[in-house]
Every structure is written in structure tokens, then in C-alpha cells.
Amino acid sequence: MIERYLRRLGLNDAPPSVESLFRLQRAHVERVPYENLEIWLGRPTTVDPMESALRIISGRGGYCFHLNGALSLLLERLGYQVTRHYGGVQDTPDKAPGANGNHLVLVVSGLPSEDNPDGRWFVDAGLGDGIHEPIPLVEGAYGQGPFQYGLRPSESDPGGWRFEHDHRCSFIGMDFRAEPTGMDAFAASHEHLSTSPESGFVRAAAMARRDATGVDSLTGLVLKRIGSETGSPTTLDRPEDYFAALVDVFGMTLDDVSAAERDKLWQRLYTAHERWLRRDDPS
């Protein structure tokens, strides 16, 4: 499994080191898309890291519980000291900050460097338009490509941490607790996110891919680029354009999806897009 996972990332096996950790994080967010299409295909998933890893190996992605869950398994098998942490993404300013369980965070320990003598790193492949490289678990401001981030002690979760996102991106910030937790702590949140009519994942298909200069983002049928090459959004209103973008931009061939499933997926996506266009129509 490890060899196939590393092959998906375009990497070779290497002993734990700061340099190798950075390569793993970069490769994961560049090659494995943040996506929730399993929900739109009507395929239930779990938070089991092995299930998520096998799906990634097959050419798919997932959202935080899948991506960080699988990455934590890979890191463990490669010999890294990795812990999972209970987190919470603050989508908008009107929502309260705090670790509410809608995000899984990883911390890697035991890798000191000149700018991080304590050797603890915030690692995350599941934020969509989030970080490209690990960040030292040290209070401060951090720039990665065109984006600026902040890390500080959390006010909502004493002893934990607060990640402040770049203002151009999809959420305000994220808090996570200091103590490690198991994957079962996220089962209820995963159930809500993947099935509830109130969930943003149920209301909109979402996809993102981070690289050194920015983020490719696809929400519903609207494709945009955020970062140093930001351009105007493009609406992919033909199925051939949509599925071509999945391959060309996000590296997803959907080999595991039949023609009939693709047709059904497209109809769901197009109907949701039409409903979104009518949201402000007084008629």
C-alpha cells in the first residue's frame, strides 16, 4: 500500500526528515484533490484511514477526514511521529470560532530545524485552499506563495492553536485542540457533513487543488483560480467541459465512475447550478 500511495504522489520512500515532510505535504495537495464527489455520486464513505488511502491510490481525493486521515496513516507507516487533533473551521465572521469537530488536523513531532527547534509542525492536506507546506507550530506570520497566514494560541480552545487564513480564500480560520484524538471522534461530524441537507457539501459539489502559486477551485460548475494568477471565473456549462476540467485541472479521470453514473452526476450538478442562478431571481 505504501509503495502505491507514494507512486500516486510521485515520490520515493525516504526516512523521516524535515525535507521529506515538506515534499510529502506539497505532493499531496498538488496531486490529490480536495473533493466531495462521492456525496454527489451517492456513495457513502467512512473516516477509516485505510479506506481513504485506498481511494486516493485509485485516483480519487476526498475532504479533510479522508485526506488527513490517509496522510496520517502514510506518515505513521513511514516512521513519522504524527498525532490527530480535533479541529473546527470558521467559515464566516458571523460563525463562532472553535474546535467543533468539522476538521481533522495533523501535528508531526520530533523534527527540529533552525527555525523550529521544538520540532513540531502543523501539517494539513485537507483544507482545500489551505497550506502548501507544513508550518512550524510556533506563533507567527507565515507566507507561502501569494498567501499570508497566521498561527497563534487559540482563544476558544485553551492550550490549542488558531490558524488564520488568507483573506482571499474560502474560510476565516481554524482552531484545533492540543490533545491528540482518534478517528472515531469525527464520525458524527462526517455523517452530518455527508448527509445533512444543511451541509455545504450536500448543497454544493466542491473541489480544490493547491500548488506553489495559488489554488484551482471548482464549486458547482464555477471554476476559478486564486493567487498570483487570479483570473475571471469560468462556468463549465457543458458536461464535456466539466469532466475535461476534472482531468486537466484536478487530475481526476473518474475511472471508477460508469457512464450512467456520470450522466446522473451531471444532471444533479446542472440542476443545482440552475437553482443557484435563480437564488436572487424575484420571479
pLDDT tens figures, 147-169:
999 999 999 999 999 999 999 88
> Above 80 in pLDDT, residue 9?
yes
Q: pLDDT digits over 106-150, tens only?
A: 999 999 999 999 999 999 999 999 999 999 999 999 999 999 999
CB neighbours of residue 128 within 10 Å: 24
Whole-angstrom distance, CA of residue 128 vs CA of residue 207: 7
Residue 279, pLDDT above cutoff 80: no
Interatomic CA distance for residues 52 and 267, integer angstroms: 26
Higher pLDDT, 174 or 230: 174
Q: In whole angstroms, what is the distance from residue 257 CA to residue 260 CA?
A: 8
Q: Please state the separation of Cα 239 from the chain's center in Å.
A: 25
pLDDT in tens, 21-69: 999 999 999 999 999 999 999 999 999 999 999 999 999 999 999 999 9
Q: What is the pTM of this model?
A: 0.94
pLDDT at position 147: 95
Q: Of 117, 121, 97, give the one whose Cα is nearest residue 109.
A: 121
| 3-state secondary structure labels for all residues of 44-73 | CCCCCHHHHHHHHHCCCCECHHHHHHHHHH
For the stretch 217-226, contacts whose Cβ atoms lie closer than 8 Å and that sit 24 or more positions apart, written own/partner, are 217/128, 217/129, 217/170, 218/245, 218/249, 218/250, 220/269, 220/272, 220/273, 220/276, 221/269, 221/270, 221/273, 223/249, 226/129, 226/168, 226/169
Instruction: Supply the pLDDT for residue 220.
Output: 95
The yes-or-no verdict on residue 283 having pLDDT over 50 is no
Residues in CB range of 173: below 8 A, 6 or more apart: 89, 90, 97, 162, 163, 164, 165
Which cell numbers in the block locate residue 56? 486516493
Q: What is the mean pLDDT of residues 211-220?
A: 95
